[in-house]
């Protein structure tokens, strides 16, 4: 039996600010617990060394304004790079599955990056998914976001991508940051149904989340048949988390992963650093490695501590019915959209708020409604940075499995933008793995 890969990178020398939830102390007690347990010495576990992501790995997903250097620290390169290393070990078959216990986190980061949103600068899972598709030619990937917050960054990045199934369950957006992730957010017109949101009412317990897992998440995965399942593994559904209001336990997390059987789990949020994280991380490792976790519990836990809120089962059943229908009707809906669409592009205006850095970003997004592929995207984005500088940038993204038409038209769009008055113009050509930035004033182009 192959071992489970563990990559533990607690970044003991990195924090957003000294008292921020995302600080050095975050994985300190997790370190204490997993080292004291000695679980890394067991034959079922193989420990991996962190790696460094390259700028190209980041450019495959993000448009960093004004450049990658100013948006990230070395810690981000190590965190993302560690996810890539874990992914390599899983895909090449060195290990049966892998868990990257890394920080800083990433699932709130969107395609365009002006600053830090929800403690995230760059999206570790998205960078990993694009890396895997590029390097190993994987086609269909499912991301199950088990963080208590809606994974709005990951959702936005794969919104128009029918090959990535994004499932997020989270505390209802009406009661928690980032205030999104509602039932009707189902993906772009050509990728309808491969974004599935499951808003849960506060105080939902293990019982409720496992009900959703068994009755919705698992059937979706079975029908989608992904090459790889990623758990975007937040740990803040825990009853002791200071930033959320759910009632999930370490046992619940372990059982979730035992049933979900993710190929790769990547740590996201979770800020109950002392009462939850050490136990949840142990539970996840044990579940993924197939080690009996029945002897694991939080010191203050007792079996009858929490009761599922009244009426929750009925509400969850409605979510299951609706979202299964959305997913199963997706091809039909996309075909209908294609048939009745008289315009070649879908245009959308968006406002995005960066809570950590207090930035308001405006976006105009255009996606080509392509009859054969996901369609190329053009984003024009402007925001005033904390430095006081205002940026307007134009970005073109050509998808991974773009048709010849989208590939050529995307490149043409980039050339047109180069003559625009946006300060910076980006090309993200995933099909040729070609990433460029032009400074329109100097007309200098940098190729990554």
Partner 1 sequence: MLIGIDVGGTFTDGVLFDDGRILAAVKKPTQTDNLQESLLAVLDELLAAAHGTDINRVVLSTTLVTNLLATGQGEPTALFMVPGYGLPHRAYDLTANIYFLQGAVDFRGRIIEKIDTNQLFVALQDVQHKGIKRIAVACKFSNRNQSLEQQIRDEIMKIDPEMQVTISAEVSGKLNFPRRAATTYFTAMTMPEWKRFANRIEQALEARNLDAEIHILKADGGTMPLAASLSNPCETIFSGPAASTMGATALSRDRLNSVVVDIGGTTTDISLLISGEPLYASKGARIDKHFTHINAFAVRSIALGGDSVIRCRDNSIRVGPMRIGAAACFGGDEPTVTDVFNVYHELKVGDWNRSRELLTTLAESSQMSLQSLCFFVVETVMERLKRSISDMFTEWENEPAYKVWEVVHRRKFQLDRIIGIGAAAHAIVPILAAEIGVPGFVHHYAPVANALGAAVVRPTLALQLHVDTASNLYTVDSGGLTGTLPDPRKFQLTDAKVLAISCLEEVSRARGIDKYTVNASFFMEEQFNMIRGWDRVGKIFEVGIQVAPGFIEEYQGVSE
Helix (H) or strand (E) holding 348: strand 345-354
Can residue 344 be called a binding residue for partner 1 (CB under 8 A)? no
Residue whose C-alpha is closest to residue 377's, from 403, 413, 415: 413
Q: How far is the CB of 356 from partner 1 (least distance, A)?
A: 15
Min separation Cβ 291 and partner 1, Å? 7
Q: 10 Å Cβ neighbour count for 48?
A: 20
Confirm if 418 and 438 have CB atoms less than 8 A apart: yes
Q: Judged by CB, which is closer to partner 1: 249, or 312?
A: 249
Are the beta carbons of 165 and 262 closer than 8 angstroms?
Answer: no
Q: Considering only residues 71-130, where is the footprint of partner 1 by CB under 8 A?
A: 73-75, 77-78, 81
Q: Which is nearer to partner 1, 288 or 334 (CB)?
A: 288
Which residue in 3, 14, 53, 395 binds partner 1 (CB under 8 A)? 14
Q: How far is the CB of 302 from partner 1 (least distance, A)?
A: 13
Check residue 69 for interaction with partner 1 (CB under 8 A).
no
Does residue 45 contact residue 34 with C-beta atoms inside 8 Å? no
CA dist., res. 126 & res. 138, Å (int):
14
Measure the CA–CA gap between 105 and 95, rounded to whole angstroms. 23
Question: Please, which of residues 225-244 interact with partner 1 by CB under 8 A?
Answer: 242
- 200: number of Cβ within 10 Å: 24
- Cα 163 to chain centroid distance, Å, stands at 15
Q: What are phi and psi of 339, to 5 degrees?
A: -65, -40
In the complex, least distance from residue 281 CB atom to partner 1, rounded to whole angstroms:
11
Our finding on whether 392 is near partner 1 (CB under 8 A) is: no
Catalytic residue, chosen from 76, 108, 149, 150, is: 108
Candidates 5, 50, 106, 269; binder of partner 1 (CB under 8 A) is 50
Query: CA 382 to CA 359: how far, in whole Å?
Result: 10
User: Which of 136, 301 has the CB closer to partner 1?
Assistant: 301
In the complex with partner 1, the residue whose CB is nearer, 293 or 376, is 293
Q: Please answer whether residues 123 and 153 qualify as being in contact, where contact means their C-beta atoms are separated by less than 8 angstroms.
A: yes
Q: Report the nearest approach of partner 1 to the CB of residue 206 (Å).
A: 17
Residue 284 lies near partner 1 (rule: CB under 8 A): no
Residue 179 engages partner 1 in binding (rule: CB under 8 A): no
Q: Is 108 a catalytic residue?
A: yes
C-alpha distance from residue 403 to each of 124, 165, 280 (Å): 27, 21, 44
Euclidean distance between CA atoms 150 and 320, whole angstroms = 17
- Does 48 help bind partner 1 (rule: CB under 8 A)? yes
Q: Tell me how far, at minimum, the Cβ of 186 lies from partner 1, in Å.
A: 38
Alpha helices (H) in 107-239, listed in sequence order: 124-136, 152-157, 206-212, 218-224
The residue range among 16-24, 206-214, 226-234, 353-361 that interacts with partner 1, by the rule CB under 8 A, is 16-24
Cα separation values, 177 from 108, 206, 349, Å: 10, 21, 21
Q: Is 305 in the site for partner 1 (CB under 8 A)?
A: no
Task: Return phi, psi of residue 344, to 5°.
Answer: -75, -20
Q: Which two tokens stand for residue 243?
A: 């930033």
User: Of 159 and 293, which CB lies nearer to partner 1 in the complex structure?
Assistant: 293
Q: Which of 41, 222 has the CB closer to partner 1? A: 41
> Of 148, 164, 286, 352, which one interacts with partner 1 (CB under 8 A)?
286
* Separation of first and last alpha carbons in the chain: 40
**Binding range to partner 1, per CB under 8 A, among 11-19, 162-170, 180-188, 202-210:** 11-19
Stretch that binds partner 1, among 47-55, 159-167, 262-270, 397-405 (CB under 8 A): 47-55
Q: Does 8 bind partner 1 (CB under 8 A)?
A: yes
Residue with tokens 């698992």: 218
Give the active site residues. Answer: 108
* Residue ranges binding partner 1 (CB under 8 A): 7-14, 18-19, 21, 23-25, 28-29, 31-33, 35-39, 41-42, 47-52, 73-75, 77-78, 81, 242, 274, 278, 282, 286, 291-297, 299
């Amino acid at each position: 039996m192959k071992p489970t890969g563990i990559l533990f990178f607690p970044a003991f020398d990195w924090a957003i600010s000294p008292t921020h939830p995302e600080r050095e102390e975050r994985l300190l007690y997790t370190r204490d617990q997993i080292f004291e347990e000695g679980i890394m010495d067991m034959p079922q576990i193989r420990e991996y060394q962190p790696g460094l992501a390259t700028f190209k790995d980041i450019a495959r997903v993000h448009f960093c304004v004004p450049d990658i250097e100013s948006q990230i620290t070395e810690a981000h390169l190590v965190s993302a790079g560690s996810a890539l290393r874990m992914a390599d070990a899983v895909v090449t078959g060195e290990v049966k599955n892998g868990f990257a216990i890394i920080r800083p986190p990433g699932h709130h980061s969107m395609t365009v990056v002006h600053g830090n949103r929800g403690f995230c600068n760059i999206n570790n899972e998205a960078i990993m998914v694009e890396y895997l598709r590029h390097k190993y030619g994987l086609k269909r990937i499912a991301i199950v976001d088990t963080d208590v917050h809606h994974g709005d960054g990951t959702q936005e990045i794969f919104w128009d991508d029918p090959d990535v199934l994004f499932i997020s369950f989270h505390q209802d957006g009406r009661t928690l940051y980032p205030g999104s992730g509602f039932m009707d957010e189902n993906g772009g017109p050509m990728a309808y149904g491969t974004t599935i949101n499951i808003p849960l009412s506060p105080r939902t317990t293990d019982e409720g989340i496992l009900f959703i897992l068994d009755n919705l998440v698992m059937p979706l995965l079975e029908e989608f048949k992904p090459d790889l399942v990623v758990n975007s593994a937040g740990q803040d559904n825990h009853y002791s988390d200071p930033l959320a209001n759910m009632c999930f336990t370490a046992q619940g997390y372990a059982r979730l992963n035992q049933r979900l059987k993710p190929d790769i789990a990547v740590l996201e949020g979770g800020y109950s650093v002392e009462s939850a994280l050490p136990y949840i991380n142990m539970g996840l490792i044990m579940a993924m490695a197939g080690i009996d976790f029945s002897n694991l519990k939080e010191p203050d836990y007792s079996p009858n501590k929490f009761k599922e809120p009244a009426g929750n089962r009925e509400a969850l059943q409605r979510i299951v019915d609706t979202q299964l229908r959305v997913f199963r009707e997706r091809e039909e809906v996309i075909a209908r959209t294609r048939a009745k669409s008289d315009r070649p592009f879908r245009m959308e205006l968006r406002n995005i708020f960066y809570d950590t850095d207090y930035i308001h970003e405006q976006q105009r997004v255009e996606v080509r409604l392509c009859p054969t592929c996901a369609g190329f995207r053009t984003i024009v984005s402007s925001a005033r940075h904390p430095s006081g500088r205002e940026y307007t940038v134009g970005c073109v993204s050509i998808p991974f499995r773009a048709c010849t038409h989208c590939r050529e038209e995307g490149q043409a769009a980039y050339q047109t933008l180069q003559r625009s008055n946006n300060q910076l113009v980006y090309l993200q050509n995933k099909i040729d793995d070609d990433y460029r930035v032009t400074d329109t004033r100097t007309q200098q182009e940098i190729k990554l």
